[in-house]
Structure 1
Amino acid sequence: MHRKAKIGMIGLRGWGNVVRKALLQCQNLELVAIWSRDPESIARAQRELPCKACETYEALLAEPIDAVLIVNPNYLHFEYCMSAARANKHVLVEKPMTNTVAEGKQLVDEFKKRGLLLCVKHMHRFSPPMRKLREMVENGTFGKILSVETYTSHSSSKNFPPDRWKRDPKLCPAAPLTQLGVHYIDTVMSFLGKPEWVQSEHRNILKLSENVDCTVTMIGYEKAVATFHAHYVVPAYSRIAVYGTEGIGLFEEGGQLRFKKEGGKDFEIVPVPPGDGLVAALDEFGETLLTGKPYETPGEVALLVVAAAEAAIKSAAENGRRVSLSEVM
């Protein structure tokens, strides 16, 4: 029988429900313990994927588990990751790793000092269309990349309850960017490498809370530039376009990956298997725990995403000034 790595999980509400159900499809991970302050979340989790329900987070960390899966709000990541490190547990944490570079650096250093894995679940880069785009970039299909354009949105902020943490810019700075835009920031980084500079404009169009609801960000890399549109008051939609001297690649939500080569009349469909990358990101973490294979988005890589977001926030606060990544690192 194939051995699975045993994990505990916290963060059982909202997106945590989706992640927990994805664990049912994993070949390398087994959920054996959970913890939540919410009795309803515990009951729902036990119906869907029965396992031990711990009374405290400390009790979960004391279980004979290989790692902790942390899917709670961003502003809590630092506290719960640090507790896991002190209990000598490996961690897979939801993106973004932290709200600030300072906290991210502390986590990376703490886990490294203890010889523990700190991995961040940037699932978007694991999806088949993004995998294929990366392959096409790397094998020269696009020629020289000039630019990448991304867009992602949904309108959930129109229905946030008054106490929703994403309404508070202190708990969730630049919400559309740090909740939605970071998916593409990480993915494009897997194509183009480390960001060098960032410019951004943030607006609060509908003024439903103190937080912004619209962000437009430009990031410069060694040989290309990418734009990232992220909105919280527009119907759900996502899109990426890669522009190169030898072709154009397009992928949009609900559609197919398409490519138009130099000299071609029309876009041609590029076959890719289905999947959003979630199960793949989880299973690769399991493989890392079982075999020692390096995880694709460890803390050191995820820290660059946090830095890009922090630089964007700094840029927006300074009237769109171009901010070097080194300023926030």
Structure 2
Amino acid sequence: MIRAAVVGLGWWGQKIIHDLRHSAHVQVGLGIDPSQDGRELAEAQGVRTADSFEHALGDGSLDAVILCTPHKFHAEQIVAAAKMGKHVFCEKPLTTTSAEARTAIEAVAAAGVQLGIGHERRFEPAVMRLRDQCRAGDLGTPLVFEGNFSQDKFLTLPPDNWRLSDTDAPVGPLSATGIHLVDLAIALFGRPVEVWARLSTLATAFANGDTLTVTIGFEHGQTALITAILTTPFAGRVTVLGSRGWVEIRDRNHPELPRGWDVTTVQRGEDPISTFYPPHPSVRDNIEQFARAASGETSYPVTFDEMLSNVRTFEAITRSARSGRVEPVG
């Protein structure tokens, strides 16, 4: 069991506190937010609170911090926590630049602390099964990844919210949802080498866009086609097409309140197979795996190389969305 501070008590920080309330591996010992409203919501869940990150750093009873803060703070907060010997779980994206990602990764490596990342989709049972099928060659040669992660949860945010800022959350649909699909594509296909992205603002006044499509080319020839929209009702789908078959995973609801997944598997010459995977606490599973790795019980399944590759791809997508050209992944 590790004790952690949740830093940032907005929408997702409150969800994490709720999901960890019965965890056997992580106890939330402190909630941090400058907003009294956020602190009061955490206190209603039985969590003591403070108003600054320094309280978490200076609390010797805490083993870790869970960062649910705006992206622009991630690198400096990871470095500060690592220097104090605290493990760090960071919500996605790790950072928005590869230089910051390298700085953060080097800091945790030098301090010998664990780094985790909020890509909970890897921990969904249907996705874990899909990865096993790809590794086993059940689909033949993997060819194309298709993914859509769209939602309309930001429509009620005030215009000055950081999630709608072109500075604080560049390429809004990417940093909100699309980055999860980039992570899954990397987990399945390896290193991206080039991207083309189109970002539009079609149905809102969002400064950082509301509609994104991305094509990613990978080092071994595979392609990922990703859509992320912030102005349509929830849609979640992942498909991997191979030379002998394909698998499609459809989410029944947003990961905030999972209701399970409908999976279709098609093999050449065989009838389609439909499978339902019941709801599963993948957000909790991810953080618990981080906690167990921090305790030395197991390894954490997202490597530093994958984290850095994701941020490099984030950078390339941002450049492509602005230039309109195919951009290399650095």
Distance in structure 1 (CA, Å) of the matches to 2:39 and 2:87 = 23
Once the 2 structures are TM-superposed, how far is the Cα of residue 273 of structure 1 from its aligned partner?
A: 4.7
Once the 2 structures are TM-superposed, how far is the Cα of residue 225 of structure 1 from its aligned partner?
A: 0.7
Amino acid in structure 1 at the alignment position of 2:329:
L
Q: Do the aligned partners of 2:30 and 2:49 also contact (CA within 8 Å) in 1?
A: yes
Cross-structure match for 2:4: 7
User: How many pairs does the alignment contain?
Assistant: 320
Cα deviation code 1:269-317 (max 9, x no counterpart): 2454531511110110111122252211244422211111110111222
Cross-structure match for 2:123: 126
Unaligned runs of 5+ in 1: none
Q: Secondary structure at the match of 1:257?
A: strand
Q: How does 1:27-176 map to 2 (within 5 A)?
A: 27-48=24-45, 50-63=46-59, 64-176=61-173
1:313 equivalent among 314, 318, 321: 318
Q: Do the aligned partners of 1:28 and 1:287 also contact (CA within 8 Å) in 2?
A: yes
Once the 2 structures are TM-superposed, how far is the Cα of residue 126 of structure 1 from its aligned partner?
A: 0.9
Q: Secondary structure at the match of 1:291?
A: coil
Q: Percent same amino acid at aligned positions?
A: 23
Cross-structure match for 1:238: 236
Closer, same or farther: CA 122–99 of 1 in aligned 2, 3 Å? same
Distance in structure 1 (CA, Å) of the matches to 2:165 and 2:11 = 18
Q: Do the aligned partners of 2:186 and 2:306 also contact (CA within 8 Å) in 1?
A: no
Once the 2 structures are TM-superposed, how far is the Cα of residue 43 of structure 1 from its aligned partner?
A: 2.0
Once the 2 structures are TM-superposed, how far is the Cα of residue 160 of structure 1 from its aligned partner?
A: 2.2
Cα deviation code 1:20-42 (max 9, x no counterpart): 11112422111112221122222
| TM-score relative to the length of structure 1 | 0.92
Amino acid in structure 2 at the alignment position of 1:152:
F
Closer, same or farther: CA 316–162 of 1 in aligned 2, 3 Å? closer
Cross-structure match for 1:289: 294
Closer, same or farther: CA 261–276 of 1 in aligned 2, 3 Å? farther
Are residues 1:262 and 2:258 paired? no
Amino acid in structure 1 at the alignment position of 2:285:
A
Closer, same or farther: CA 54–290 of 1 in aligned 2, 3 Å? same
Distance in structure 2 (CA, Å) of the matches to 1:165 and 1:307 = 22
Q: Do the aligned partners of 1:75 and 1:171 also contact (CA within 8 Å) in 2?
A: yes
Q: Do the aligned partners of 1:177 and 1:230 also contact (CA within 8 Å) in 2?
A: yes
Distance in structure 1 (CA, Å) of the matches to 2:296 and 2:156 = 44
Cα deviation code 1:183-237 (max 9, x no counterpart): 1111121111121221111111124132211111011121311101011111111
1:247 equivalent among 245, 248, 257: 245
Unaligned runs of 5+ in 2: 253-260
Divergent runs of 4+, >4 A: none
Cross-structure match for 2:257: none
